[in-house]
Structure 1
Amino acid sequence: MLQANQSTCALFVGTWVRDDTYPMYQSSSCPIIDAEFNCQMYGRPDSDYLKYRWQPLNCELPRFDGLEFLMKMRGKTVMFVGDSLGRNQWESLICMIYAAAPRTQIQMIRGDPLSTFKFLVIN
């Protein structure tokens, strides 16, 4: 839930701020990141870019909670449509959830053009 004065909160106006509690997952620990999208694996020497979060004007965004997301989305489907940017977004979402619930049973079916990923049981 947003913590803000709703009349002055500007979600799309703000700045990127450094936050040393980020990143929310390590790409090396996430089983689904495609190698071609893994900057660290390909030798990118810096990692500071991983330590930033969006800070909207006049409000605080809550930190993403993967377990809460799973509970709220139980029985529902999320679909990403698009190109490689959409692929990066769904892989990141899955990695953030997986980091929050690493012992959860998962099922992934890779296909072309459609892949599916399910979190089956929350432990």
Structure 2
Amino acid sequence: MDQVFLLAPTSTDERIQHVVNQARGFIYYVSLKGVTGAATLDVKSAAERIAKIKQQTDLPIGVGFGISDAASAKVMGAVADAVIVGSAFVKPFATQNVEEASALAVAKVKELRTALDELR
């Protein structure tokens, strides 16, 4: 199992180089500043940073934070090698019963999968 290294919009060039030199498996790009699930994704900025990282490594870049629907998954899936979704799956379990939350999670997977399949 490989250690997962994270890069963020605030990562310096020095930090990016350090991560590129140390990482194995993939690099996790945190696409926004702030708390996951609570902010708006700046797609253009994230795409630019991912492109910059990809110039320095052949490792896959997974992007997470701020990806919560088909549109954001599709746009990030076009520039990253993977999209990582967390809060969009967890939030329903805080407010719904298990059956309803499970159904919402299944619907969310279908929504995201459909959007990502359109990139093929």
Q: Is TM-score (shorter-chain normalized) higher than 0.5?
A: no
More contact order relative to length (CA 8 Å, sep ≥ 6): 1
TM-score (norm 1): 0.28
TM-score (norm 2): 0.28
Q: Highest Rg: 1 or 2? A: 1
Greater fraction of residues in helix: 2
Greater fraction of residues in strand: 1
